[in-house]
């Protein structure tokens, strides 16, 4: 929604400041009508990441997701994250994955194929199982009829995405050492507990396990 809103505001400014600027078709009113309509298809690139299957725009920008994570998902859907060959000249490891020797990094690798990322999702899925008392992953929680568990699933996804992306950017652009897996899982624990605490404050009935149980499950 946000890119369309900005485009609509830009059209409005053009029309007010210089009505004769855009003389060719489509006219400004026509252009605004095009922009007001949602894209007919959801982004498809997410199907390369099993933990993040294809989502609608409404799902990406769902109110239960932190806005920073929604923006990341939007960039993932448009294949526009700064990683790999486009940033090889400025990233610490060039176009390669910090955790996988001589492996070119791209969005599917960073968020799924990398063994380090896979461990992050495994830990996240363990918390999803704990929430539902059955073997589920974070995406499966979103498909349940319970709004409280759906919210937990979106927050778990958000914590995993945020943890993986922060671990990469701190290394690639922050000139920091490569984070080992135990530290990444510790960061994941902190992110999940932070989101859990905010959620239980706003929604007391949310089925989150205690913070100590979350930490014990991820870090052991």
pLDDT of residue 41: 59
Contacts of 26 (CB under 8 A, 6+ apart): 34
Structure tokens at 117: 């990322």
C-alpha 51/C-alpha 156 separation (Å) is: 11
* Residue showing tokens 């769902």: 62
Under 8 Å between Cβ of 219 and 186: yes
Nearest-10 crossing angle of helices 211-219, 181-202: 160
Residue 3 predicted with pLDDT over 80: no
Place of tokens 């929430």: 131
Token couple for 209 = 């396990």
Is 2's pLDDT higher than 90? no
pLDDT tens-digit series, residues 40-89 = 555 665 778 888 888 888 899 999 999 999 999 999 988 889 999 999 99
Dihedral angle of Cα 97, 61, 56, 46, to the nearest 10 degrees: 0
Q: How far is CA 161 from the centre of its chain?
A: 5
Query: Which residue in 126, 123, 130 sits closest to 207, CA to CA?
Result: 130
Of 96, 95, 99, the closest CA to residue 182 belongs to 99
| Region 130-137 average pLDDT | 91
Q: Comparing C-alpha atoms, which of 71, 73, 160, 151 is closest to residue 112? A: 160
CB-facing half-sphere around the CA of 110: CA atoms within 13 A: 26
| Residue 186 binned pLDDT confidence (cut-offs 50, 70, 90) | very high
Nearest CA to 98 among 116, 113, 112?
116
Contact 56, 28 (CB under 8 A): no
pLDDT of residue 155: 97
């Amino acid at each position: 929604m946000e890119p369309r809103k900005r485009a609509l505001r830009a059209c409005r400014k053009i029309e007010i400041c210089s009505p004769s600027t855009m003389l060719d078709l489509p006219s400004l009113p026509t252009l605004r009508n095009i922009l007001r309509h949602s894209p007919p298809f959801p982004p498809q690139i997410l199907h390369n990441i099993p933990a993040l299957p294809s989502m609608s725009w409404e799902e990406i920008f769902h109110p239960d997701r932190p806005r920073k994570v929604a923006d990341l998902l939007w960039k993932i859907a448009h294949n526009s994250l700064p990683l790999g060959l486009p940033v090889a000249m400025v990233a610490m490891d060039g176009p390669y994955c910090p955790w996988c020797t001589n492996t070119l990094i791209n969005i599917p690798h960073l968020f799924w194929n990398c063994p380090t990322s896979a461990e992050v999702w495994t830990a996240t899925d363990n918390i999803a199982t704990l929430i539902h008392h059955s073997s589920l992953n974070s995406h499966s929680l979103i498909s349940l009829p319970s709004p409280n568990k759906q919210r937990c699933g979106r927050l778990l996804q958000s914590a995993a995405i945020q943890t993986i992306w922060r671990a990469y950017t701190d290394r690639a652009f922050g000139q920091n050492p490569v984070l080992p897996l135990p530290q990444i899982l510790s960061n994941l624990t902190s992110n999940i507990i932070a989101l859990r605490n905010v959620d239980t404050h706003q929604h007391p009935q949310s089925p989150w396990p205690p913070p100590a149980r979350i930490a014990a499950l991820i870090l052991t």
